[in-house]
Chain A
Amino acid sequence: MTPPLQGTAPDRRGMLAGALDIRWQDLPTLRRSVRMYQRNLMVYRHIWMVIVSGFFEPLFYLLAIGIGVGSMVPDINGLSYTAFVAPGLLASNCMNGAVSDGLFNIWFKLHVQRTYDGILATPMRVADVAFGEMLWALTRGSLYSAAFLVLVFVLGELWGPRILLSPSAILALPASVLVAASFSSMALCLCSFVRNREDFDKVMGLVVVPMFLFSGIFFPVTQMPAFFQAFVQIVPLYHAVALLRALTTGIVDVWTAWHIAYLVVGGAFAFLVAMRRFERTLIK
């Protein structure tokens, strides 16, 4: 008798159907996923400086681009450039927390150190490992977001132009948790496709950097030619930026719901695909 989650028979039903064919008991359990979390806490107790230093990058960008360059840029639709850029940097910060650290780190553990092989010899299952890693990436992203929001609030009040312009800005915190979760899942999914070091550089150079530069963080996407404007609709960072900007500036409209939906559905789908692919890699 053969179990449904076989790795050996080719899955002709396609990725979507395959992704949805999950038995109830194969979904991650919180209790076990938390073990991965505990493990990461243990690891980072040794290298906590890495986490602390991660706070500074968005701050630097905010000061350099938001204020330094911003002093040369006129208001955009009534928004000061600083208030325009800040939520975008918040979104990209969530992305960096998930991608730059999470992606490579997980891939390294998976293919080089083979750490997960050892963990899977215990009652932990692939779903628990994947979900646990995602929870950790999510926590880091959220921590960075919270710190950034506080920083941005203080900066705005004490110094220059107000950056958080509406009470709805408080919703930017749960929203950035959602963004972090979505990006963590997507990073996990991407991780399952990467085969070697060179692939990584390609991903960083061809996906992450362009996303960072063209998703509406530094200038409105409406400035780009129509084709690119249409294309950017499928870019997750675009939705994250738009969502957070809507919340910090208070300019919320019907599109905001669309951004949320994209992040939720995209993230969930990416997670399912990641889980299936990891199952296939680790259990042959």
Chain B
Amino acid sequence: MPSAAGPLVLARNLRKTFSSFTAVDGIDFEVRPGEAFGFLGPNGAGKTSTMKMIACASPVTGGELRVFGMDPGTEASTIKARLGVVPQADNLDLELTVRENLLMYARYFDIPSQTARQRTEELLAFVQLGERGGSRVEPLSGGMKRRLTIARALINEPDLILLDEPTTGLDPQARHLIWERLYRLKKNGATLLLTTHYMDEAEQLCDRLIVMDKGRIVAEGSPRELIERYVTREVLELRLADTDGDVLKERLASLATHVEILPERIQLHADDGEQVLERIHALGLPVERALVRRATLEDVFLRLTGRTLVD
């Protein structure tokens, strides 16, 4: 729930350039307290670079960035004390046990030992690793390691939690467990800032989104707003026996709001997919396969950039 306080993160014309290329090319956004804010885009869009700047792990090369109202260039330690960071690649301490990872991390924040021990047990229970407290980190599965990283990010009771591709590479069961935990955090009032290239993750978790491509913002809004604005409510996916692209496009253009010809299938965007399908049958077109589904953010991205989110 947005409060009267100012945004937790504020970016104006934010830029990040490396010697050979520009990762982030002048973006503006703000993150309000209590919301789950997402950066959606394919690999290389500039999401991770943006996250790193917010986390004070990478210097800003242009524009303005304020986290908790402070400048990451000069007040990094103060900002980091109030952040929780879940990075893309796990960097857990492999020389320590699960419990020790949390205890030691608390010490880096100068949290007193008593409090640290208490929070460690609570967090282990929260991410359902209570039984593995004494085990080494290496033998844990990918999902468990990610849960441990999330627990670690919460040890200092942060005001803002940064998650960079939190469920990439995990099996569906692990992903759902993590989503469930993150959702619970959100309900308790935490502010989440996450990046992802999974549209289901963005739709499930985020209140507001920025869609990024090649370092720029191509769209922003809530998931529903984006779908309503850029695509129709439903999508009909077709496989036709006769695949003469341009001719088809002309014939189909009148049937739907938008037609997308892809290498292996055709998408027709319309508010009522079934109706369109009936008319196609009526026209006698040779349909090999047909599927009517809800429109997703993937369709939004395809519409905006002509490419898919996942290569």
Contacts and interface: CB of A to CB of B under 8 A. Distances in A.
Give yes or no for direct A-B contact (beta carbon below 8 Å).
yes
A38 B104 CA distance: 8
Interface stretch (B106-114, B178-186, B214-222, B239-247): B106-114
B176 to A, nearest CB: 25
Interface in B61-96: 61, 71, 73-74, 76-78, 80-81, 83, 85, 87, 89, 91-96
B36 interface: no
A119 B104 CA distance: 10
Interface string A1-32: 11101111000000000000000000000011
Contact of A7 (B59, B85, B100, B107): B59
A2 B61 contact: yes
Main secondary structure of the interface of A (DSSP, over half): loop
Interface of A: 1-3, 5-8, 31-32, 35, 38-39, 42-43, 46, 109, 113-125, 283-284
Contacts of B96: 39, 42-43
B89 A123 contact: no
A118 B93 contact: yes
A6 B59 contact: yes
B105 interface: yes
A241 B275 CA distance: 90
Nearest to B95: A43
A3 B74 contact: yes
Contacts of B110: 31, 123
B58 interface: yes
Interface of B: 17-19, 55, 57-61, 71, 73-74, 76-78, 80-81, 83, 85, 87, 89, 91-96, 100, 103-105, 107-110, 152, 156
Contacts of A121: 55, 57, 80, 83, 85, 87
Nearest to A105: B95
Contacts of A35: 104, 107-108
Contact of A114 (B55, B80, B91): B91
B83 A1 contact: no
A283 B57 contact: yes
Contact of B107 (A6, A38, A46): A38
A120 B156 CA distance: 14
A115 B94 CA distance: 8
Given A114-B91, A115-B91, A115-B94, A123 B59 contact: no
Contacts of B18: 8, 284
Contacts of A122: 80-81, 105, 108-109, 156
A8 B108 contact: no
A75 B74 CA distance: 62
B87 A118 contact: yes
**Interface centre among A6, A39, A115, by most B CB within 10 Å?**
A39
Given A114-B89, A123-B80, A1 B17 contact: no
Contacts of A46: 95
Nearest to A109: B95
A168 B296 CA distance: 80
A130 to B, nearest CB: 15
